[in-house]
Every structure is written in structure tokens, then in C-alpha cells.
Structure 1
């Protein structure tokens, strides 16, 4: 308020309030500069549109430089955090433009990943339970690890990074519940059902010259019929300043996909540490031929703070239902368990 003296009389006049202070109940109006809410936070709105574009068209991000496309796809679900941050900013700054723009990435994210939150699994609807685990060649408690896996009561248990003398411990601990098992190189499969026709699977990239055996194929004689089971451990990837180093992983995935394509048995189950997520185009030789989990995120690596599921269960002529993680073991990976419905 200001006072004005006029002809000896003192009167009080109200100064005009700035536009940004003239709020009506429930309305968002202009800012300190007089800009209406609809025109504010255009930068946040642009970021929301960009996030939606990356989610919807991640395949368009080129892999020619640093394999940036694969790097983005390895952490694709985490783009949802960008939406959360932008939502907080929009609410804090009362930006209608940003809020409207956020509907786009939210819709795309829910389309891609919303179904993974659903249960949708009826009791007894599945035919098999399978477990996949990279047990780590530095695991100091193989017996405890084996017990954690067996507690899930799966039909099949696939293990990677099997090294002596830990292999002997796994064989001894699992023998009573899983009388059938096959090991080739550093990968193995334990089963409640008989195994046959097991052989070493050659998925070694040409650039690796040292001894390297990380794949096997076997036939599982289940009560529901014969199933070809593949266990694989693809080469590791590295994130460097130049980008994602994944060429060996991609080459190994191609060889594995070629072997599965040539498989004569109709039903195939693939279990393994594939060192990638199912969104990564590096696994396209596999994901283009096989079904992936329909429910559950089951981030498995690293065990201390899981950021991605690189331990996978895939199937051909079968459905991979809900996938979940099991309790931590002595490995740097978490085990994953999945429900399989045949046919």
C-alpha cells in the first residue's frame, strides 16, 4: 500500500499487484515476467518429447559409433526416471506445457514395459520351472548357492562359470534332487528329467584364440515331451569412453542364433548369461527367433545394485511367463527363475 497526499487529505491507494501474484483458486497463471503457464518450461517439454522419441524409436539410434544404440537399449527401462524428474519439475514450476508433453513418454513407456508389472499367471498354468544363474568363478560358497537354487524347486537349473573344485560341490549338493546333469566347458544343466544327446556348442567368436567353451545343447525328456535345452554364456561387454565394446558378444549371439535356427526339435529353451538385455539389438539373432519373458523385470546384475537383467530365459514353441529373481548367493549375479508353458 502507498499513501498519497492530496489537498491536505491523506488517502490510501492500493498499488497494482503484479500479474504473477493475482492467483485465483485452482488456477495457474503467469510467472514473475508475466508469461502465461502454457508458455513456460518449453525446454522440459522438449526433453519429454525427446525421451518419448528415444523410447519409441530406439532402433533408429545408430550403432556405427560406439554402439550407442545397444548402450541405450541396455538401460532402456531406466528412461522412465527421466519422466519422473521432468514430472517433478513441471509440478514445482506449474508448467502446463511440460505436463501435457509428459503424457507422451508415459504412454510409450507403459506400452513397452507396463505389462511386465502384471502377474497374469494362474496357479498350475505352467508346465516347467527353470532357473538360470551365473554362479561366478570366484564364488566362495557353492554349496550355499546350490541350496538357494534348489529351494525354488525348478525342473531345470542352468549354471555358468563352473570351475573346479566348485563343480564337484554343485554335483554333490544337487545330486539328490537333480539326478541328471550335463556339463560342457564352464556351463552345465541339472535336471529332474532324463537328458540325452548332449554336445558342446561352438559359439566362440573368431577373435578369441584361447580355450573357450561356453555352450551346450541337450535334450530333456519331460513328461510333456522332448525339449532341446541350450545353455550359453556369451562374452562380456565393456563400457568405455569410446562407447560399448560388444563385438564379441554380438558375434557369439549370431552363432548361437544360427545353431537354434538349425535345431530340429520343435520346442527349445535357452538359458544363459547373455550379457545383454532383451531390448539390445545385439541379441536380435535370438530375440527374433524366440519368445522372451512376458512378466517381471528381474534385474539380475550387478547383485549389489541390479540395473539390468542380463541373465535370460527364452523359448521357441513355448511361452516364458513370469520371471523373478531369487535370493542373493555368493555370485555377482542374482539367480532368475521363470515359468514355462509349452505349446
Structure 2
């Protein structure tokens, strides 16, 4: 309920950017920022949307015009059709081999808005590495979504890495460990990750899942990623039931420095995995003549309980290092791990999300 009286304003509502909200309200109402107080209820999730202060500014303007406190609440239809949408991206990958070794890796990407593949893994482990990124302007309002940039980059890169392993007839985990050994022992150029910490989560998830001894009827996919200073490795187990894939279990190993609140940390990781699977399989927004087609949850498909993993096992690498990010890093690799498991089950590669869109 924003109020504005005698050059002061009070706002109550969830936001990830109270400083930005304060400065924009101050500018719009022409009052001093120090005269604006913001109450932050601990409710709901952010996932990037609350990095935009537009709804708070709107409430402040309405309150000022009405000269009374107001509560502003958007309908689901308003929210879905007037949002800041996750930027799309397209990737092209090429690799060169000789005698079973990966000699060259070329990744090229085009992003709506801002995005970059930069020097992400496997940079530093390949003799010839090239990364290119371009931005494409759009009149669609875009904004961050959980694990910005990494949420699509992890899917593209780790899906392609699985294709490389398949082409070379290499075990996906053993091959990645060999690359990380090269990055540690003979790094090529600058690397932005710690090979030992990367290996720690791969080794841990291999042990958790008993990698190499796949249970009967189970098809497996593996992926790993580094983002927000945290290392994550995941194995997805699925079965084909009536011609449909059903995720049985997700194993997830995390190196995020010292874990302060174990149950909270587990919750963050489990939530990111479920969120990532839902977006990999179903969720999408489409536009028709500039207008959003989906208006509510009857057309915007979410992950339902019948499609959610039957079990998720999470373990953390013991560490006394300072804590690093955790709300986002478990999301980027899950789409790739799922896609790689689907390839093992069906022989079909999924190169576009959502897989069932």
C-alpha cells in the first residue's frame, strides 16, 4: 500500500532491488529518496522478475494521483501478457577430433538482448577454443530468469558435449574428467573455473549414482556446469512408460563452499531441479502479432506432479571455503542431463526447449 504525503512515501511489497525502486519512485514523484521507506515481506520467489521495479513504481503513481493509500495487484492475465520475458538464444557448435582426442571447440551464439558464452568450460582444456557471441535487438521486453545466460548456455553446451562423447565412444563422465585434468595440468589460456572443484562434484555424483552400473530398464544422462561460483553435476535416471519418458531419480552433487543451513540448501537445489525440468519439457511463451498468446495456466503449461522426478538425491562436497551461489546453479545442467537421458532412451536428440512444445 504505497502512500505519498508531505513529500514522503511508504511502499510495501516484494522486490529484489529496493534501491532501484526507491530511486525510480523518487524521480517519478519528485521527492527525496531518503523520504521513501520500503517494507519487504519475505514471501514468494523472485526468479528474476522482481529485479524489475515497474509494479512498485506503478503503485506509487496511482497512490499519488488518488491521494490515498492503494493496493495494486495484477491479474494473472495482466502479468503473463505484460511481463519481462526470458531472452531467447540460438547456438551453433562445432568440434574437431584426432585419434580420439578433442582438438577444437567452436561455439557461436546469438542472444535477444544481452548474453555471452565467453570463456566457459571447456575453455582451458582444448588446444583450439573459440567463442563468439552476438546480440539481436528486439522490441519484446526481456529480463533475467533464474540463472541468467547459464540457463540456456548450460543446456546447449552440455548437450553438445554429450554428442562429442557419443561420437568418440567415450564415457561421458570419464571424458569430462580427462578434460579437467588437462585444464589443471596444462591449462591453455585463461580459465574461469577451478578444475579440482569441478572434478569434486563429478566424482561425487558418479559415486552417488553408482555410475557405470545402470539398473535394468533405466536410461541415464549426465551433465555438469559452473555458475555463480558454484559447481554442480547431475545424473538423470528415466524409464520409458507407455512410450513416454518418466524421470525416476535425479542425483545432484554440489560444491558451493561451506553449507550453513543444510535443509535450506537442499531445498534450493531440489527446487532448481524441478524448475529446470519443467522449463525443459513444457513452459514457453509465444507471440502473435506482438501479443502474448498464453494468458493463464490453462495454456501456459507447468510441470505437474505426474511429471516430476519420483526422487531427488542431493549431496554437498564438504568445504570450509566461503559460501557461494545456490539458488541458481543447479538449474543450468538439468535440461542437458535430461536431454542426454532421453537420447539414451530414444536415440533422438533434443536441441530446442521445450522438448514437448
TM-score w.r.t. the length of structure 2 is 0.27
Give the number of the structure whose alpha-carbon radius of gyration is greater.
1
